[in-house]
Chains A and B, each alone.
Chain A
Amino acid sequence: MRFVSLFLNNRLTIAPEILVNDSSLKAVPFGELSTLEQPPLNPTFQYDKKLQQILYGKQLLFDELPFTVDQIQLHYENGYVKYSHGICKTSNGYLCSRCGNEKSRLFAMFSCFCCKNDNCVYCRNCIMMGRVSECTPLISWSGPEVRWSRGNKLHWNGELSSGQQVASKEFVERFGSDGKLLIWAVCGAGKTEVLFQGIEKALNLGLRVCIATPRTDVVLELAPRLKAVFPNTIIASYYGGSEERETPAQLVISTTHQLYRFKQAFNIMIVDEVDAFPYSYDKSLQHAVSRAVTPKHFLLYLSATPSKTMKKAAMNERLPCVKIPKRFHGFPLPVPKMVWGGEWKRRLEKGKLPAPFLKWLKAQGESGRRAMIFVSSVSVLEKLSELINRVVDVPVDSVHAEDPMRKEKVIQFRNEEIQLLVTTTILERGVTVPFLDVAVYGADHDVFTESALVQIAGRAGRSKDDHNGDVLLFHYGKSLSMIQAINHIKNMNKEAGI
């Protein structure tokens, strides 16, 4: 967009070109305005409550707001809305102030029809949330704060395991001011229940809470559970395509990507699966977390497989940590077994399956039990599922990240309409199905890191009636990650005293 500078009530202000009918004023691309004058708050102005509720604690684009440019401009002129630059020039390139991207390869420019600049720079890193370019202002709320209700009662009478109790108490007692805590809980420990009491306390102190997780599946699973136990609280879920983004919620469940929309919003940030893709290696998502929290905030990390850095920080007590080594049902974690699978890749290319795998597959098919078969890539996925389909006479399907039917297939698998599900590592977390066995085809491949294998093994034995699912790693030479994963699991079982 282009803006003009003009005097309003004897103060220099800016206004979108399209709202000004004065051709003598020179319009310039928004990015070229070096100072953005902020008009003082006009206390007699009747601001729009809905705009306040949508915009409070966020930073959005014009396109994301269900208000006209006029309405937003009016709030700006009365000091209730602030405009800021989305893309800033730095000494060695650009910075996207929404996602924190500074990599020059993730900026591009185009000849822009809105600002008539032939080289309008935009950020490609956060393009999925709408384009932030040099000429698009980021809009935030600078009027009065939203006040939250204090009547948030927890409606839950389940019981915590002893491990959960310790972690829950730690969370409740630690926050209040700044601070952080890592809850290291094995897969199946029941980490959601650990959060309940802490969240209740925070909500009743008038604090705003966010649970951020890398995956949409987890948001979809958590939101109804939390809505059920906090029936009097306004809760909104944020993920690509969610419809609750305009709800003024005190408790937000969001994918890490959607955090880009927030600014200084949360007093308590709970980061789920802190080690998981893509959070762990995406600096800009860490930026999103740090932007979404208020200056004083409490950070709670949850993980079954914390990264090396995090474990180290926990060890030298820079990061307070509580462990829950025992599963909720009290039985040990199934320990993976390594099975020689020969040249699994070459055989696949020749249209053949390694004998030990074939043997397992046939037995599994006959047993009637469900199994997830993890593979290293989409190309292996396609070949393997085709071969499996030829060998066994049970319902087989496959799923990967880009699969448009992913959600439906996971539901079918849950409903036992699919018995054998071949998958990439995309389902290494989250999917919890009772009476399940797990196999990894080509476990020595690099994508199967220690934490990936621990998560994969964590799929098995989730129910107390079937706590001993099989976990088989078919390999062509043991990898270090395989050995580390097995030791990791054995150690956790030892710590749990079982």
Chain B
Amino acid sequence: MSYCLYCHESYSKAWSWEVLIGLEVSPLLCQDCEGRLVSVKGEICRICGRDFSIFPEQYRQGDCCFDCIRWEENESWTGILQQNRSLYVYNDFMKELIAKLKYRGDAEVVKAFYPVLSSEFKKISRDAILVPIPLSEERHYERGFNQAELLAGGLKKQVESLLKRKIHEEKQSKKTREERLSQKENPFEVVDSVKVKDQKVILVDDVYTTGSTLRCAAKVLIEAGAKEVSSITLAR
């Protein structure tokens, strides 16, 4: 018997051959909580990894969503972020879960996803360096940890904190997409460009919402000489 890392209820996983031989990996959550997660699977946007099955048909063109097309059409952003892949849809439950992690500071919640993170992303993270999206110094002190760093820890690979935030900016969520896009100043800077040069980098963050945070981070890495930059997030 185990205890759900989210709601603390006890549970026992259904027995199956797939689980036994490690073909099927699930989060360390009870059936009720797991049932409220929606995995991203099936057809997805080639770039941002959004699940097409829950996305209106008219906002896609071929294997890409309109948001990504808009990014790619803008010269200064073309090819900056090679691809993003996420584990789950950012639904109400995911929002609650991430709020508990970030705003209540329950760091342990992240561990529920460690088995899934390492098995799902083993392939794409091969011969790449993992770089978590940093928090500002103040935010980091307030929270006591950086959730992106904790998530990166689940990929069982060396994590390199090669980025830092320049200034404490306004809350991202208060700005519109336009404001975020037009924001001239990139909030990130590279800490050690030598380590970045000619490397394949994978950024790690908790959630991909508009994609601007990850693209800003990717941009400074590319400018510092990274070969290619993609990203992994828990939710999309």
Q: Which A residues are closer than 8 A to B by beta carbons?
A: 105-106, 108, 110-114, 120, 122, 124-125, 127-128, 130-131, 133, 378-379, 404
**Which of B100-108, B184-192, B215-223 faces chain A?**
B100-108
A378 to B141, CA, bound (A): 39
A-facing residues in B137-159 (Cβ within 8 Å)? 140-141, 143-146, 150
Contact of B106 with A131 in the complex, beta carbons under 8 Å: yes
CA distance A294 to B92 in the complex (A): 41
A131 CB contacts on chain B under 8 angstroms: 104-106, 144
Compute how far the CA of A114 lies from the CA of B141 in the bound complex, rounded to whole angstroms. 5
- The 4 A-B residue pairs with the shortest CB-CB distance in the complex, in nearest-first order: A108-B108, A110-B107, A131-B105, A127-B106
Q: Chain B: residues with CB nearer than 8 A to chain A?
A: 3, 8, 32, 35, 92, 100, 104-108, 140-141, 143-146, 150
Chain B residues, Cβ within 8 Å of A124: 8, 106, 108
A113 contact set on B, CB distance < 8 A: 140-141, 143-146
A114 in contact with B144 given A106-B8, A131-B106 (CB within 8 Å): yes
**Known interface pairs A105-B3, A124-B8, A127-B100; A110-B141 also in contact (CB < 8 Å):** no
Contacts of B150 in A (CB 8 A): 110
Nearest opposing residue in chain A for B139, CB measure: A113
Which residues of chain A are near B108, meaning CB under 8 Å?
108, 110, 124
Knowing A110-B108, A127-B104, the reply to whether A378 touches B32 (Cβ < 8 A) is: yes
Beta-carbon nearest neighbor of B96 in chain A: A402
- State in angstroms the CA–CA spacing of A209 and B219 once bound together: 60
Query: Which residues of B lie under 8 Å from residue A133 when comparing CB positions?
Result: 144
Residues of A within 8 A of B145 (CB): 110-113
10 more contacts with CB within 8 A, not counting A110-B144, A130-B104, A131-B144, are A112-B145, A113-B140, A113-B145, A113-B146, A124-B8, A124-B106, A124-B108, A131-B104, A378-B32, A404-B92
Complexed CA–CA distance, A127 and B3 (Å): 16
Q: In the complex, are the beta carbons of B104 and A128 less than 8 A apart?
A: yes
Contact of A127 among B32, B105, B140, B146 (CB under 8 A): B105
CA distance A130 to B106 in the complex (A): 9
Q: Which residues of B contact A128 (CB under 8 A)?
A: 104
For B107, the chain A residues whose CB sits under 8 A away are 108, 110, 122
Pairs A–B under 8 Å by Cβ, sample size 23: A105-B3, A105-B8, A108-B106, A108-B107, A108-B108, A110-B107, A110-B108, A110-B144, A113-B140, A113-B144, A113-B145, A113-B146, A114-B144, A122-B105, A122-B107, A124-B106, A125-B8, A127-B104, A127-B105, A127-B106, A130-B105, A131-B104, A131-B106
Q: How far is the CB of B4 from chain A (nearest CB, A)?
A: 11
Interchain CA distance A280-B144 in the complex, whole Å: 34
Residues of A near B140 (CB, < 8 A) are 113
Name the residue on A nearest B105 (C-beta). A131
B104: chain A residues at CB < 8 Å are: 127-128, 130-131
A128 to chain B, nearest CB (A): 6
Residues of B within 8 A of A108 (CB): 106-108
CB distance from A69 to the nearest CB of B (A): 12
A453→B138 CA distance, assembly (Å): 52
A111–B143 CA distance with the chains assembled, in angstroms: 11
Chain B residues within 8 Å of A120, by CB: 144
Which residues on B sit within 8 Å (CB–CB) of A106?
Answer: 8
Output the nearest chain A residue to B92 by Cβ-Cβ distance: A404
Question: Across the two chains, which residue of chain B brings its CB closest to A111?
Answer: B145
- Tell me, in angstroms, the Cα distance from A139 to B32 when the chains sit together: 37
What separation, in Å, do the CA atoms of A404 and B91 have in the docked complex?
Answer: 13
How far apart sit A379 and B34, CA to CA, in the bound complex (Å)?
13
Query: What is the distance, in angstroms, from B3's C-beta to the closest C-beta of chain A?
Result: 5
CA distance A125 to B7 in the complex (A): 10
For the complex formed, measure the closest distance between the CB of A60 and the CB atoms of chain B, giving whole angstroms.
16
A178, B107: Cα distance in complex, Å:
42
Complex Cα distance A404/B100, Å? 16
Chain A residues whose C-beta falls within 8 Å of the C-beta of B92 in the assembled complex: 404
Kindly list chain A residues whose C-beta atoms are within 8 Å of the C-beta of B105. Answer: 122, 127, 130-131
Q: Which residue of A105, A106, A113 has the most chain B CB atoms within 10 A of its CB atom?
A: A113
Bound Cα distance from A480 to B104, whole angstroms: 42
A438→B191 CA distance, assembly (Å): 65
Complex CA distance for A120 and B8, rounded to whole angstroms: 20
B220 to chain A, nearest CB (A): 23
Which chain A positions have C-beta within 8 A of B106? 108, 124, 127, 131
Residues on A with beta carbons closer than 8 Å to the beta carbon of B32: 378
Complex Cα distance, B218 from A421, in Å, reads 50
Q: Give, as a whole number of angstroms, the nearest-CB distance from A4 to chain B.
A: 17
What residues on A are CB-neighbors of B141 within 8 Å?
113-114
Determine the residue in chain B with the shortest Cβ distance to A114.
B144
A122 to B106, CA, bound (A): 9
B35: chain A residues at CB < 8 Å are 379
Q: For residue A135, which residue of chain B has the nearest CB?
A: B144
* Nearest chain B CB to A384 CB, angstrom units: 17
Looking across the interface, which residue of chain A has its beta carbon closest to that of B145?
A: A110
Complex CA gap A406/B65 in Å reads 34
How many angstroms from the CA of A113 to the CA of B139 in the assembled complex? 10
Which residue on chain A has the smallest CB distance to residue B153?
A: A111
Rounded to whole angstroms, the CA-CA distance of A492 and B100 in the bound complex is 44
Expressed in whole angstroms, the minimum distance between the Cβ of A15 and any Cβ of chain B is: 17
B143: chain A residues at CB < 8 Å are: 113
CB distance from A183 to the nearest CB of B (A): 32
In the assembled complex, the CB of B80 is this many whole angstroms from the nearest CB of chain A, namely 29
Name the CB-closest residue of A to B104: A127
Closest residue of chain B to A105, judged by CB? B3
Shortest beta-carbon distance, A167 to chain B, in Å? 37
Q: Which residue of the partner chain A has the closest CB to B32? A: A378
Instruction: Find the A residue at minimum CB distance from B149.
Output: A111
Q: Which residues of A contact B144 (CB under 8 A)?
A: 110, 112-114, 120, 131, 133
Bound-complex Cα distance A114 to B150 (A):
16
Interfacial chain B residues near A111, Cβ < 8 Å: 145
Could you tell me the distance between the alpha carbons of A124 and B104 in the complex, rounded to whole angstroms?
Answer: 10
Bound complex: CA A125 to CA B35 (Å)? 23
A403: nearest chain-B partner, CB-CB: B92
Q: Give Cα A127 to B106, complex, Å.
A: 7
A122 to B3, CA, bound (A): 17
- Note all chain B residues with C-beta closer than 8 A to A125: 8
Q: From residue B105, how far is it (CB to closest CB) to chain A in Å?
A: 4
Q: How far is it, in angstroms, between the C-alpha of A108 and the C-alpha of B108 when the chains are bound?
A: 6
Closest CB in chain B relative to A116 CB, distance in Å: 11
